[in-house]
């Protein structure tokens, strides 16, 4: 079975990490940022903020730090609608106006990380830390960038420092938990998720990630309880629905597993992993027709999906189509020679 290891919530959609954007917002003369509809906070729709910040910039009424703040806030709005190139450009303009603007470096680093440009992300976070060695957002952001590169020890060191600076830094605990989980230290991961949840009890992603840690320990009852809570907090969290289905499958509760995959697919009909997993549950019930149909769809969505090809082959073999099954298994082995014992 395939479960998804981490959720991303970003201005785009996650950061599996639960980073918050670090920009500070200083009021512009005569008009407040609220008046301008350019706050950099989610209380005003992001497209409205892009327009409001743009109007403020084009008015030529603002300069210096005030104008830099407006550029940062428009950058946050752009990042929130996944327009990362414009976000990076706006943060860069804010830095040009104020080369000591720590939050602009941090936020640009977050945007670079979302774009996958991890070295630039780390360079921006380095500069933010040089400007302010006590900026916990910079340490948390740099830790997340190191984590994305797979450099887990420096990531943990940065999260440690963020927590030293603010023992209530829930994002640092949540991200450090992910790093420990990646290292296979599940007990430390769970301890960090516990603290993140204590600090922010309504964080669906923290429950989801703790559920993944419990699932990795094969403690499926605790995993299901955490996925339950994640789904209560965010009913559209398809990753939690999928992974709860995996936990039910591990408990041989195939009907509950199928129900979860149904919900996940209903929310995201392009979720190939959920089709594959539902196929596994149908196969376990010896419902070969539904199993093969789900594998067909998983493969339509991802033609190189070796796991779905392999299990479709097994389903065909068990359903009496030996030649067709052998062909699927052979195709899967060409994509992944180690597919013979898939999860």
3-class SS at 210?
Answer: helix
Q: What is the pLDDT of residue 22?
A: 38
pLDDT, one tens digit per residue, over 314-340 is 999 999 999 999 999 999 999 999 987
3-class SS at 343?
Answer: coil
Alpha-carbon dihedral of residues 253, 209, 168, 166, nearest 10 degrees? 160
Q: What is the pLDDT of residue 32?
A: 82
Q: What is the pLDDT of residue 314?
A: 96
Measured CA to CA, the distance from residue 290 to residue 275 in angstroms comes to 10
Residues 6 or more apart from 48 whose CB is under 8 A from it? 37
pLDDT, one tens digit per residue, over 170-200 is 999 999 999 999 999 999 999 999 999 999 9
Residues 6 or more apart from 108 whose CB is under 8 A from it? 75, 87, 88, 91, 92, 95, 124
Q: What is the pLDDT of residue 45?
A: 95
For residue 7, give the DSSP letter: -
Q: How confident is the model at residue 18 (pLDDT cuts 50, 70, 90)?
A: very low
Cα-based angle 191, 141, 214 (whole degrees, multiple of 5): 25
Q: How confident is the model at residue 33 (pLDDT cuts 50, 70, 90)?
A: confident
Measured CA to CA, the distance from residue 260 to residue 231 in angstroms comes to 11
| CB hemisphere CA count around 156 (13 angstroms) | 15
SS3 content of the chain, % helix, strand, coil (to 5): 70, 0, 30
Q: What is the pTM of this model?
A: 0.84
Cα-based angle 275, 276, 280 (whole degrees, multiple of 5): 115
Q: What is the pLDDT of residue 23?
A: 40
pLDDT at 157 exceeding the cut of 80: yes
Q: How confident is the model at residue 35 (pLDDT cuts 50, 70, 90)?
A: confident
Measured CA to CA, the distance from residue 125 to residue 1 in angstroms comes to 38
pLDDT at 27 exceeding the cut of 90: no
pLDDT at 246 exceeding the cut of 70: yes
Q: Long-range contacts: 329-338, Cβ < 8 Å, 24+? A: 332/306, 332/307, 333/306, 335/304, 335/306, 335/309, 336/306, 336/307
Lowest mean pLDDT: which of 11-20, 70-79, 215-224, 299-308? Answer: 11-20
Mean pLDDT of 78-86: 96
More confident residue, 44 or 8: 44
Mean pLDDT of 127-154: 97
- What percentage of the chain exceeds 70 in pLDDT? 90
Q: What is the pLDDT of residue 31?
A: 66
pLDDT at 3 exceeding the cut of 80: no
Q: What is the pLDDT of residue 281?
A: 98
pLDDT, one tens digit per residue, over 95-116 is 999 999 999 999 999 999 999 9
Residue 52, CA distances (Å) to 27, 28, 212 in order: 14, 13, 41
Measured CA to CA, the distance from residue 97 to residue 63 in angstroms comes to 8
* Domains along the chain with CATH numbers: 269-343 (1.25.40.10)
Mean pLDDT over all residues of the chain? 91
More confident residue, 171 or 341: 171
Q: What is the pLDDT of residue 233?
A: 98
Q: How confident is the model at residue 204 (pLDDT cuts 50, 70, 90)?
A: very high
Q: What Rg, from alpha-carbon coordinates, does the chain have?
A: 23
């Amino acid at each position: 079975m395939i479960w998804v290891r981490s959720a991303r919530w970003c201005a785009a959609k996650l950061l599996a990490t639960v980073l918050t954007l670090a920009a500070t917002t200083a009021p512009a003369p005569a008009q407040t940022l609220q008046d301008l509809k350019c706050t950099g906070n989610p209380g005003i729709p992001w497209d409205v903020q892009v327009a409001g910040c743009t109007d403020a910039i084009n008015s030529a009424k603002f300069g210096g730090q005030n104008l830099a703040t407006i550029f940062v806030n428009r950058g946050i709005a752009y990042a929130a609608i996944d327009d990362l190139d414009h976000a990076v450009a706006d943060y860069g303009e804010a830095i040009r106006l104020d080369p000591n603007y720590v939050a602009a470096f941090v936020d640009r680093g977050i945007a670079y990380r979302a774009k996958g440009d991890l070295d630039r992300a780390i360079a921006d976070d380095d500069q933010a830390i040089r400007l302010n060695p006590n900026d916990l957002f910079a340490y948390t952001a740099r830790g997340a960038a190191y984590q994305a590169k797979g450099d887990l020890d420096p990531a943990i060191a940065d999260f440690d420092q963020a927590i030293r600076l603010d023992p209530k830094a829930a994002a640092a605990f949540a991200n450090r938990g992910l790093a420990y989980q990646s290292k296979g230290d599940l007990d430390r991961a769970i301890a960090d998720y516990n603290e993140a949840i204590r600090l922010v009890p309504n964080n669906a992603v923290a429950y989801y990630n703790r559920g993944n840690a419990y699932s990795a320990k094969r403690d499926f009852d605790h995993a299901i309880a955490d996925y339950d809570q994640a789904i209560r907090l965010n009913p559209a969290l398809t990753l939690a629905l999928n992974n709860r289905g995996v936990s039910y499958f591990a408990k041989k509760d195939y009907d509950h597993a199928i129900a979860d995959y149904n919900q996940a697919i209903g929310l995201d009909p392009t979720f190939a992993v959920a089709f594959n997993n539902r196929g596994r549950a149908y196969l376990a019930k010896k419902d070969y027709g539904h199993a093969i149909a789900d594998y067909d769809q998983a493969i339509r969505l991802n033609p190189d999906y070796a796991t779905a090809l392999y299990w479709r082959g097994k389903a065909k073999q068990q359903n009496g189509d030996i030649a067709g099954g052998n062909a699927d298994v052979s195709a899967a082995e060409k994509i992944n020679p180690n597919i013979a014992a898939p999860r």
